[in-house]
């Protein structure tokens, strides 16, 4: 019997019940879903729900899936997926991460207590359900993805992971290019205060981060490294869990580059999927119980690695990409193959711009912009000819006679001279049509400190990875300015930036292209 409509009904009831302060068990007494309290690290109560396959014998030993909730989400987040998994023979335990909603404790931001909680939940499931200790998997979206990867490093019982819209490197996610990702951090912080109880450490880190307290930069980086799965890469590889990573090209909270880099370093069974969208939007319909490619493949991943089902997922190309411009998926043997074919265009001449003024080029709004691009294929646009050259540097390629299929990570190399010791620049790559309208392909920020005014220095910047098709007759343009609402900028008043291309070290953009 299909249970998805029931899951949606229970979800709605539980959300309403939570708002009224009612206990979840009272709302779901007739559903067959079991709501439990699990003692996490230090005895902290974690609110959880358990779904067991109907008719499972008491002596049966079934594969287990543990689902930590996303940041700021209630414990019924995964109910639809939990029931689908239970219908196919899994015991599923989903729990509210500590510090959020009705779970106890304070928000630790995937700290050691959160990792220990995951192991405590596994302990509880093995003691109180027909779960098989040799077939344990974990999955989650966003916060749940990060915790799942960290658990795979610290608990060898975790044999398979599906980490969706998560992070492998927290610093590269929200502090890439040494630049604070303002909207991402503010959104996470605000949601944490609204739905949970931030601990003193998180409050201090968030305050220092948003106030640009460079005196605490090393401490903030150390805090982020401690919460980054890539820090524990050797442990993950030693434990050998089968890792599936899924993310969106336009994820403005956990951009795709850091996931791709992490994927390349994994030595066990692995899979990488990128699709159009923003943070968690690629998985959203699946959370509601609707058909969803990401969740379908996550189920196939678990079926193969926990149940031994020969469903062919191990014979597919392990890197699967969906372009923002076309339907269908492209398979690659590894991430390096995605951007093996590079084409450069030069950043000739010298251009000087004033800082502190928004030129009109921008990366959009967190969650909204790339969601619209996902469904309507409407990225942010600018009129490139009308960009004010006093505040934006602009370089363009030749017109392309054939379509250019951008796949992977474009890289910018240039020489910068600043009139101040600190500064921020933001680079944008645009697809420019015959009328001069540019559609955003990618962007990335770059911040510097401690430079000698008037002394040139080299800048190497990776733009956020993407898959985008530039039509024939169009050209690519690189635009650089100094202000974007997505990021905190560090340009002193009156600063000027000069971009040059010395003969001994020419400036260029290197664009990865898919071969025909």
Band the pLDDT of 25: cuts 50, 70, 90.
very low
Band the pLDDT of 12: cuts 50, 70, 90.
very low
Nearest to 479 by CA among 434, 414, 423: 414
Question: DSSP assignment of 94-163, as one string?
Answer: EEPPTTBTTS-S-B-SS-HHHHHHHHHHHHHHHHHSSEEEEEEEEEEETHHHHHHHHHHHH-TTEEEEEE
Check residue 30 and give its pLDDT: 36
| 211/53 Cα distance (integer angstroms) | 50
For residue 196, give Cα distances in angstroms to 100, 106, 354, 398, 471: 4, 7, 42, 52, 47
Asked if residue 8 has pLDDT above 50, the reply is no
Asked if residue 362 has pLDDT above 50, the reply is yes
Number of Cα atoms under 13 Å in the Cβ half of residue 151: 34
| 469/324 Cα distance (integer angstroms) | 8
| 454/504 Cα distance (integer angstroms) | 19
Query: pLDDT (tens digit, 9 = 90+) per residue, 252-298?
Result: 999 999 999 999 999 999 999 999 999 999 999 999 999 999 999 99
More confident residue, 1 or 159: 159
CA angle (278, 345, 497) in 5-degree steps? 75
| 278/249 Cα distance (integer angstroms) | 7
| 407/512 Cα distance (integer angstroms) | 6
Question: DSSP assignment of 368-411, as one string?
Answer: HHHHHHHHH----EEEGGGS-TTT-EEEE-PPPSS-EEEEE--E
Sequence-distant (6+) residues with CB within 8 A of 171 are: 221, 224, 225, 228
Band the pLDDT of 409: cuts 50, 70, 90.
very high
Band the pLDDT of 384: cuts 50, 70, 90.
very high
Q: What is the DSSP letter of 189?
A: H
CB-CB contact of 429 with 409 (8 Å): no
| 310/315 Cα distance (integer angstroms) | 10
For the chain, percent of residues with pLDDT exceeding 70: 93
Asked if residue 194 has pLDDT above 50, the reply is yes
Please give the average per-residue pLDDT across 124-132, as a whole number: 95
| 117/484 Cα distance (integer angstroms) | 38
Check residue 55 and give its pLDDT: 77
Asked if residue 100 has pLDDT above 80, the reply is yes
| 158/147 Cα distance (integer angstroms) | 12
Query: pLDDT (tens digit, 9 = 90+) per residue, 316-346?
Result: 999 999 999 998 999 999 999 998 899 999 9
Check residue 5 and give its pLDDT: 35
Asked if residue 9 has pLDDT above 80, the reply is no
Instruction: Provide the CA 99 distance to its chain's centre, in angstroms.
Output: 22
Number of Cβ atoms within 10 Å of the Cβ of 348: 12
Take residue 249 and report the two structure tokens written for it: 């090209």
pTM: 0.91
CB-CB contact of 418 with 492 (8 Å): no
| 133/91 Cα distance (integer angstroms) | 12
Q: Where are the beta strands (DSSP E) in 90-239?
A: 91-95, 131-141, 158-164
Take residue 445 and report the two structure tokens written for it: 């920020």
Query: pLDDT (tens digit, 9 = 90+) per residue, 54-72?
Result: 877 767 899 999 999 999 9
Asked if residue 461 has pLDDT above 90, the reply is yes
Strand partners, 438: 382, 432
CB-CB contact of 264 with 230 (8 Å): no
Band the pLDDT of 32: cuts 50, 70, 90.
low
Please give the average per-residue pLDDT across 230-246, as a whole number: 98
Please give the average per-residue pLDDT across 405-430, as a whole number: 98
Average pLDDT across the chain, whole number:
92
3-class secondary structure, 3: coil
Take residue 485 and report the two structure tokens written for it: 């609402």
Asked if residue 27 has pLDDT above 60, the reply is no
Q: Kindly report which listed range (25-39, 251-265, 353-367) carries the lowest average pLDDT score.
A: 25-39
Asked if residue 24 has pLDDT above 50, the reply is no
| 179/464 Cα distance (integer angstroms) | 14
Asked if residue 245 has pLDDT above 90, the reply is yes
Please give the average per-residue pLDDT across 198-209, as a whole number: 95
Strands 423-432 and 475-481: antiparallel
Nearest to 480 by CA among 346, 343, 347: 347
CB-CB contact of 94 with 79 (8 Å): yes
| 445/214 Cα distance (integer angstroms) | 17
Q: Kindly report which listed range (19-23, 141-145, 232-236) carries the lowest average pLDDT score.
A: 19-23
Check residue 313 and give its pLDDT: 97
Q: Kindly report which listed range (24-28, 303-307, 363-367, 482-486) carries the lowest average pLDDT score.
A: 24-28
């Amino acid at each position: 019997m299909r249970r998805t409509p029931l899951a949606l009904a229970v979800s709605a009831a539980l959300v309403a019940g939570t708002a009224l302060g009612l206990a979840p068990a009272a709302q779901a007494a007739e559903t067959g879903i079991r709501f439990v309290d699990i003692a996490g690290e230090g005895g902290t109560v974690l609110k959880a729900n358990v779904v067991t396959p109907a008719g499972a014998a008491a002596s049966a030993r079934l594969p287990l899936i543990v689902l930590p909730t996303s940041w700021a989400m209630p414990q019924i987040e995964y109910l639809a997926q939990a029931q689908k998994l239970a219908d196919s023979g899994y015991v599923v335990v989903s729990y509210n991460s500590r510090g959020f909603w009705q779970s106890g404790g304070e928000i630790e931001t995937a700290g050691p207590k959160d990792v220990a909680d995951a192991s405590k939940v596994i302990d509880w499931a093995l003691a109180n359900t027909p779960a098989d200790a040799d077939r344990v998997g974990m999955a989650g979206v966003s916060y749940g993805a990060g915790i799942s990867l960290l658990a795979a490093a610290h608990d060898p019982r975790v044999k398979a992971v599906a980490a969706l819209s998560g992070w492998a490197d927290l610093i590269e996610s929200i502090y890439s290019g040494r630049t604070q990702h303002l909207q991402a951090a503010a959104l996470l912080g605000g949601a944490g205060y609204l739905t949970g109880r931030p601990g003193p450490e998180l409050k201090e880190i968030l305050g220092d981060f948003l106030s640009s307290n460079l005196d605490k930069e090393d401490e903030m980086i150390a805090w982020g490294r401690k919460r980054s799965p890539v820090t524990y890469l050797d442990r993950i590889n030693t434990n050998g869990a089968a890792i599936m990573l899924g993310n969106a090209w336009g994820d403005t909270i956990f951009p795709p580059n850091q996931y791709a880099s992490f994927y390349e370093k994994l030595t066990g069974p692995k899979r990488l999927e990128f699709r159009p969208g923003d943070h968690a939007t690629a998985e959203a319909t699946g959370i509601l119980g609707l058909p969803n490619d990401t969740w379908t493949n996550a189920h196939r991943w678990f079926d193969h690695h926990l149940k031994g089902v020969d469903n062919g997922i191990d014979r597919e190309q392990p890197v699967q990409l969906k372009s923002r411009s076309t339907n269908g998926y492209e398979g690659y043997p590894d991430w390096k193959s995605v951007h093996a074919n590079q084409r450069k265009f030069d950043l000739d001449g010298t251009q000087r711009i004033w800082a502190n003024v928004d030129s009109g080029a921008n990366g959009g709004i967190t969650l909204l912009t790339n969601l619209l691009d996902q469904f309507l294929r409407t990225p942010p646009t600018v009129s490139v000819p009308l960009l004010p050259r006093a505040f934006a540097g602009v370089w363009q390629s030749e017109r392309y006679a054939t379509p250019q299929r951008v796949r992977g990570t474009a890289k910018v190399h240039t020489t910068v001279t600043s009139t101040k010791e600190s500064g921020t620049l933001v680079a944008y790559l645009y697809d420019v049509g015959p009328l001069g309208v540019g559609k955003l392909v990618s962007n990335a920020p770059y911040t510097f400190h401690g430079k000698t005014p008037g002394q040139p220095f080299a800048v190497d910047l990776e733009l956020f990875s993407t898959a985008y098709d530039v039509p024939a007759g169009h050209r690519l343009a690189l635009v650089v300015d100094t202000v974007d609402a997505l990021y905190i900028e560090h340009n002193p008043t009156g600063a000027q930036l000069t971009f040059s291309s010395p003969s001994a070290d020419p400036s260029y953009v290197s664009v990865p292209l898919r071969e025909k």
